[in-house]
Amino acid sequence: METITWREYLGNAIRYWEPRRILYNLLLAAIVGAHFVRALPSSRSALQLDNLLFLFSLAVLANVAYCAAYVPDIFAQMSTVRDSWLRYRWIVLLIGLAFAGVLTHFWSAGLFGGR
């Protein structure tokens, strides 16, 4: 039985999740952009400093929320279901993308006045 260190669990999680953060951010940016374009020309009035700072804060919080995936990932890697987890953790990614996309849709619709 091989012994895997905490460092290897964390390294494996980082190697998996961090490249996918780009996809996550692109998806959220595309949703915000689509809402902005759809609500033109009235959405231009939302481009005020306070709204841009609010949007920036939401983007930072979305990336903090993305880090939540590390907790179940590392614990699952440390468990007896590690091999299955490594094959199927992409499902957690898809669920997270869908959930973040839905939240982004509603926040963007509220910010830009679209539905």
> Over 3-56, what HEC string results?
CCCHHHHHHHHHHHHHHHHHHHHHHHHHHHHHHHHHCCCHHHHHCCHHHHHHHH
Q: By three-state DSSP, how is residue 87 classified? A: helix
| % of the chain with per-residue pLDDT over 70 | 97
More confident residue, 76 or 47: 76
Q: State yes or no: pLDDT of 10 exceeds 60.
A: yes
Residue 112's nearest CA partner among 54, 61, 64 is 54
Report the candidate in 91, 101, 92, 86 with the shortest Cα–Cα distance to residue 8: 86
pLDDT at 115 > cutoff 80: no
Give me the pLDDT at residue 102, please.
Answer: 97
Residue type, 84: S
Report the range of poorest mean pLDDT among 16-30, 35-49, 51-65, 79-93: 35-49
- The pTM (predicted TM-score) of the whole model is 0.88
